[in-house]
Structure 1
Amino acid sequence: MHPLAFSGSEIPADAVPPELVAQALSSLTPFVTDLFVPRYQSCEVGRWRLRMAPLLVSAGYWSPALMTTDTAALLRREADGEYRCWMSMTPMEIESQEIGVRAATGHTVVMGMGMGWATVNAALRPEVTKVTLLELDPDVIEVNRRIGLFDQLPAEIVAKIDIVNGDALAYCGDEPADTLMTDIWLPINGDERMAQSRIMARNTRAARVYVWGQELAIARRARALGLELTEETVARIVAEFDLPLIGPERSDYPDLIARAAAKWLKDL
């Protein structure tokens, strides 16, 4: 782990030696995005903690190691009493969701609130008319309320957002989803999400779907079949998944899959 890497617990400002700060500032590229990154602050609700890291170096989903400052992370206390990071505003988290966010249109359904980033960025798109957010744990909803997540948005954007405290795998809703984004899992690497996303897509009558970590599921299947990642291979695997996935329409998508897999398919 890089000496400045976020380990899953709060990093006090004085825990980062000045010489390491100077080294990071001189040798690493800052992470920059044109998407909205909310202002976060530390808080605690139930078994959830939101904490800030003053300086962080981490790999992107497909980008090299990048530097961020005042990076927020949402941690959950597990049965053993230890806290585990469930979401963070790192380059990996943002890059691994932005294809879906940038493609959102019409009625967009977001499964899993996390730190609210995908929800607010979808709502900010003029092409999105409504966002329905499903979150199972009311304490996660309360964390985002306490930090004033939606207070940072114009009133007309907040009016687009409907928060539902419920089970993503059981939710159907009255209005079909033009866009569905599913993100209810802790590890980014796992194939169970495709079967579960099929349930969510069927229940919401989704026209298009973006699954968090879908690139790794595609890469894993390609490796199992002994296939190179090409547009034809990706199309074949997406057809197997039986989901109208967002992403394969991009000419650079096989390359993005390969770059993400090289970083995050560490078990193969």
Structure 2
Amino acid sequence: MPSDSLTLFATDLFVPRYRPMRSGDWELRCGANVLCPGYWGDVSLVLDIAALTRGHETWMSMTPMEIESQEIGCRLARGYTVVMGMGMGWAAANAALMPEVSRVTVVEYDPDVLAFHAECDVFAQLPPEAAAKVEIMQGDALHWLPDAPVDTLLADIWLPLNGDDRVDEVRRMQANTGADHVYFWGQEMVIARRARALGGALDADTVAAIVRELELPLLGPSLPDYPNRIARAAAAHLRD
């Protein structure tokens, strides 16, 4: 299929510039043009993709799937925002760009990831007023405690999109931080799996009931098309 018949992926969110580098077992790879499915969007062509890998596993990449699966949290973040898991720094950078966000703390456990970011310095690519909001802390996401009340918690510390222990771990992070609002990677898969178990339609009422059951102040359910987004994401990515 000729490339001019493909849809190029585009987003109005900030996508940092990356360059190839290594830090311990981690490698940042750049340069391939790849056809990628979205999280809830269609397949599109990504030019000069960047990906963070360890061994044979890709932990994060600038693909439509990765961007769409985190953008709700970035767009709806407000106040003091804590990002659990550095990854490629994309979510923290975009949260810092939101006018409603006053401060961003990134909590990362792995010293090699921290060393990678010290060299890559994604946040230096931000406007000075956004970069000044960001601080990076080394710590365990399941035990880290803030020094001030947290408004928004964004959590992405997992490799598989689907995970059985995810909700319990997010509850621990939310309890430790006292965050008023939470968005965690893969929450749509959690909701879709529960809806399937209940045998109900994936509509606004079902989503609201499941969110109450999760006992987490989730970002996303207030969006009018959220049930439809969940359904599209689940059709593409829910495997169990």
Deviations 1:136-180 (A, max 9, x none): 001112212222312212222221111110000001112121110
User: Contact between 1:53 and 1:71, CA under 8 Å: does it hold in 2?
Assistant: yes
The 1-side partners of 2:123 and 2:191 are apart by: 34
Q: Quick check: 1:47 aligned with 2:25? A: yes
Matches within 5 A, 1:163-242: 163-242=136-215
Matches within 5 A, 1:7-156: 23-77=1-55, 83-156=56-129
1:19 maps to what in 2? none
Amino acid at match of 1:197: V
Deviations 1:69-97 (A, max 9, x none): 111000013xxxxx210000000000000
The 2-side partners of 1:191 and 1:175 are apart by: 30
The 1-side partners of 2:182 and 2:201 are apart by: 24
Amino acid at match of 1:123: A
Seen in structure 2, the aligned counterparts of structure 1 residues 229 and 182 have a Cα distance that, compared at 3 Å, is: same
The 2-side partners of 1:124 and 1:92 are apart by: 21
Structure of greater Rg = 1
User: Contact between 1:24 and 1:67, CA under 8 Å: does it hold in 2?
Assistant: no
Deviation at 1:41, TM superposition (A): 0.5
TM-score, normalised to structure 2's length? Answer: 0.97
SS in 2 for 1:186: coil
Q: Quick check: 1:248 aligned with 2:226? A: no
SS in 2 for 1:30: coil
Kindly report structure 1 stretches of 4+ aligned residues shifted beyond 6 Å.
none
Amino acid at match of 2:178: R
The alignment's C-alpha RMSD in Å is: 1.0
* Structure 2: gaps of 5 or more residues: none
Deviations 1:206-229 (A, max 9, x none): 000001110010000000111111
Equivalent residue for 2:131, pick from 158, 179, 190: 158
SS in 2 for 1:259: helix
The 1-side partners of 2:229 and 2:127 are apart by: 33
Amino acid at match of 1:121: N
Amino acid at match of 1:103: L
Seen in structure 2, the aligned counterparts of structure 1 residues 24 and 123 have a Cα distance that, compared at 3 Å, is: farther
User: Contact between 1:182 and 1:210, CA under 8 Å: does it hold in 2?
Assistant: yes
Report % sequence identity.
57
Deviation at 1:24, TM superposition (A): 4.7
SS in 1 for 2:80: strand
1:11 maps to what in 2? none
Deviations 1:116-154 (A, max 9, x none): 000000001111000011000011122122223122122
- The number of residues matched between the two structures is 240
Deviation at 1:262, TM superposition (A): 0.0
Q: Quick check: 1:257 aligned with 2:230? A: yes
Deviation at 1:25, TM superposition (A): 1.5
TM-score, normalised to structure 1's length? Answer: 0.87
The 1-side partners of 2:100 and 2:70 are apart by: 17
